[in-house]
């Protein structure tokens, strides 16, 4: 059994990680650390866990574990590791932005990009949610040196992407029956998307024109990505299907895709269309699963030599 510690287990990503790991056949959760909830049962915060576990939040920082998941806010992981150097000998999976530039020995944890590097790693930087969806839309093109012009991206995310802390733009009264743009052309995930594309297509310097939207739903991402493509639609589909043939969570659909197909799963579904020389790739994921905690468990499976899908046979909502 893999002995697991979780730091920052009271938020959305921590809760989603718990929902997966509690039922993972090869995991023993040793502790779930939370400064704000220490001593309280997990189900006091994550009420859907009532009946699944009697485990309580703790203030424990024991290093007698095999892997620690860092689920605190952005900027907190670096502070935590600086204050707790004993964790340097434990495998680390960080769900924040802190090490996505692959600094300090961290490997970028996108299995569809570099599975073998993840398997050999000590520390993993889990990708961002928008970044995951957009990168999976573009990896096959970049690997074929096929992005020859600027890329246009329009993507919408559910409210859980903003985290659990209440703000004006995540409040139900404002977000319900509403949609809005934020961080147009400047979203923080653009840095890691550019890094990933450059790792496949050497010298990549095409513009990534990204317009993110806040959706009036709780979870899921749909990214619509288009760029120039010299080829037929069938050639594009073959390119994508061949690239993802050995990756169990990413699938190319012959029909249009929608968010409900992937909510509560670790899947990414892609659909392709060709319009007057523009290849349109639609990519859908669950921002909390494939975009965060599910991908983190996928990375844990790779780190410990387990089949990639272990504990991730999750059911979509369907309706």
Residues with a catalytic annotation lie at 129
3-state DSSP call for residue 202? Answer: coil
Question: What does the alpha-carbon distance between residue 100 and residue 107 come to, in Å, rounded to a whole number?
Answer: 8
Question: What does the alpha-carbon distance between residue 239 and residue 227 come to, in Å, rounded to a whole number?
Answer: 15
Report whether 101 contacts 191 (CB < 8 A).
yes
Residues 6+ apart with CB under 8 A from 296: 13, 17, 69, 93, 95, 109, 124, 126
Report whether 231 contacts 240 (CB < 8 A).
no
**DSSP letter for each residue of 118-138:** HHT-SEEEPPPHHHHHHHHHH
Question: What does the alpha-carbon distance between residue 180 and residue 133 come to, in Å, rounded to a whole number?
Answer: 19
């Amino acid at each position: 059994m893999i002995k697991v510690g979780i730091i920052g287990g009271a938020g959305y990503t921590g809760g989603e990680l718990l929902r997966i790991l509690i039922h993972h056949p090869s995991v023993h959760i040793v502790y779930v650390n939370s400064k704000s909830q220490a001593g309280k049962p997990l189900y006091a915060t994550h009420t859907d866990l009532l009946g699944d576990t009697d485990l309580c939040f703790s203030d424990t920082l024991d290093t007698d574990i095999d892997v620690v998941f860092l689920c605190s806010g952005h900027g907190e992981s670096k502070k935590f590791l600086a204050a707790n150097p004993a964790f340097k000998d434990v495998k680390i999976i960080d769900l924040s932005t802190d090490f996505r530039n692959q600094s300090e020995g961290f490997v970028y944890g996108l299995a569809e990009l570099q599975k073998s590097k993840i398997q050999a790693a000590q520390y993993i930087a889990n990708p961002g949610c928008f970044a995951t969806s957009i990168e999976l839309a573009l990896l096959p093109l970049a690997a074929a040196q096929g992005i020859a012009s600027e890329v246009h991206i329009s993507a919408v995310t559910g409210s859980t992407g903003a985290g659990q802390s209440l703000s004006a733009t995540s409040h139900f009264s404002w977000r319900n029956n509403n949609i809005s743009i934020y961080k147009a052309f400047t979203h923080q995930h653009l840095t890691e998307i550019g890094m990933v594309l450059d790792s496949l297509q050497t010298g990549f310097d095409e513009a990534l024109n990204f317009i993110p939207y806040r959706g009036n739903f709780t979870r899921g991402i749909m990214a619509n990505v288009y760029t120039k493509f010299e080829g037929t639609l069938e050639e594009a589909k073959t390119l994508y299907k061949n690239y993802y043939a050995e990756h169990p969570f990413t699938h190319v659909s012959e029909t249009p895709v929608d968010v409900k197909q992937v909510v509560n799963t670790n899947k990414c579904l892609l659909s392709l269309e060709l319009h007057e020389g523009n290849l349109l790739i639609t990519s859908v994921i669950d921002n909390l699963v494939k975009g965060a905690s599910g991908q983190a468990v996928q990375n844990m499976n790779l780190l410990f030599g387990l089949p990639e899908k272990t504990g991730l046979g999750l059911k979509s909502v369907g309706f």
